[in-house]
């Protein structure tokens, strides 16, 4: 775990053994895999100091060198309108935050008039604490899907998490209620997903679509429905909804993909999120309690999935 302290706008690190002999360039390009553009900004704007001096990006660090990285600055990357909503926080530190997304709320604005999204609520939450950073979503959840969703508080954390997401290093576990009883209690759906040319928002399994992989496992059966745990290996739009409908088991309430309209939303909840912290390297595991009122998911212990 990388130990650090916050000093105003700066993160201070005493060079650990695993950094000794490496250059700042090595750490940014190889350890953190930061994009070239963002690395260039840190270099050109002198956002790195070593022992109080402007960093030499090509000089090896020595054990115990004091490295300062300027991370916590006021930004003006977007004009996100702050919107108050008492959203539940599952994990937070200086670098990342995980919210428990409520239903019937977009993750981010789709146009200039869309101002009551989770991103807007997250911006308000930070501002109410006196933090002036521009928050960044790392992934998204459908409007009617609830559960754990990850945001970054600064550009470096956001870039590292984006790379981790691309490399499938952020693990997301969902709970769904589907129609019918599954023939196979456990399996993998490996079918490409693309747009449905006959519908503006719907997706479908298509040989010309993007690769999509969903792992599923039966939790329990209740009447004519099944509770299913799903793990995403990829993150396509509507992936779980499309894949489970494709095998004949649409989600309850998911009328877009053939589900019965007996619920106000599709029965899908992001119950667990696991990843390695982008800066410290510690393991983050977040469980998102069910928040529907009245409840949709019954007798499920999320801490055992």
Tell the residue number behind the tokens 């004091």, with chain if given: 66
Long-range contacts of 154-158 (CB under 8 A, 24+ apart): 154/71, 154/72, 154/73, 154/95, 155/38, 155/41, 155/71, 155/75, 156/32, 156/34, 156/38, 156/42, 156/69, 156/71, 156/278, 156/279, 157/71, 157/95, 157/96, 157/278, 157/279
- Cα–Cα dist 266/146, whole Å: 10
* Longest alpha-carbon distance in the chain: 68
Q: In 3D, which of 238, 282, 283, 39 has the Cα closest to residue 155?
A: 39
- Cα–Cα dist 181/184, whole Å: 9
Q: Supply angle C-alpha 232, 172, 199, rounded to 5.
A: 50
Q: Distance between alpha carbon 111 and the CA centroid of its chain, in Å? A: 21
For residue 92, what are the β-bridge partners? 97
Q: Is 114 a catalytic residue?
A: no
> Do the Cβ atoms of 270 and 288 come closer than 8 Å?
yes
In sign, the C-alpha dihedral spanning 32, 38, 43, 47 is negative
- Cα–Cα dist 106/296, whole Å: 20
> Do the Cβ atoms of 72 and 11 come closer than 8 Å?
yes
Catalytic residue chosen out of the listed positions 26, 65, 86, 142: 142
Catalytically active residues are 142
């Amino acid at each position: 775990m990388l130990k650090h302290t916050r000093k105003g706008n700066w993160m201070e690190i005493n060079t650990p053994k695993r950094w000794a002999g490496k250059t700042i360039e090595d750490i940014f390009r190889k350890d953190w895999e930061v994009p070239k553009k963002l690395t260039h900004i840190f270099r050109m704007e002198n956002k790195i100091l070593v022992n109080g001096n402007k960093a030499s990006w090509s000089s090896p660090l020595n054990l115990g060198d004091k490295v300062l990285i300027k991370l916590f600055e006021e930004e003006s990357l977007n004009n996100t309108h702050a919107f108050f909503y008492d959203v539940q926080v599952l994990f937070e530190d200086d670098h990342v935050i995980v919210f428990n997304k409520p239903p019937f709320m977009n993750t981010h604005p789709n146009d200039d008039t869309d101002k009551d999204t989770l991103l807007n609520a997250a911006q308000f939450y930070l501002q109410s604490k006196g933090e002036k950073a521009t928050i960044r979503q790392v992934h998204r959840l459908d409007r009617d899907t609830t559960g754990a969703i990850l945001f970054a508080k600064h550009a470096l954390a956001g870039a590292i998490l984006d790379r981790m997401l691309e490399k499938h290093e952020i693990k997301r576990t969902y709970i769904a209620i589907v129609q019918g009883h599954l023939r196979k209690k456990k399996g993998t759906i490996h079918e490409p997903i693309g747009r449905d040319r006959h519908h503006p928002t719907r997706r479908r399994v298509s040989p010309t679509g993007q690769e999509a992989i969903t792992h599923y496992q039966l939790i329990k059966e209740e009447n004519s429905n099944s509770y299913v745990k799903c793990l995403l290996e990829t993150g396509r739009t509507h992936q779980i909804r499309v894949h489970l409908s494709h095998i004949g088991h649409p989600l309850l309430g998911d009328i877009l993909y053939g589900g019965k309209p007996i619920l106000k939303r599709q029965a899908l909840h992001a119950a667990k999120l696991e990843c390695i912290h982008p800066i410290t390297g510690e393991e983050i595991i977040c469980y998102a309690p069910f928040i529907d009122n009245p409840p949709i998911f019954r007798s499920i212990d999320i801490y055992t999935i």
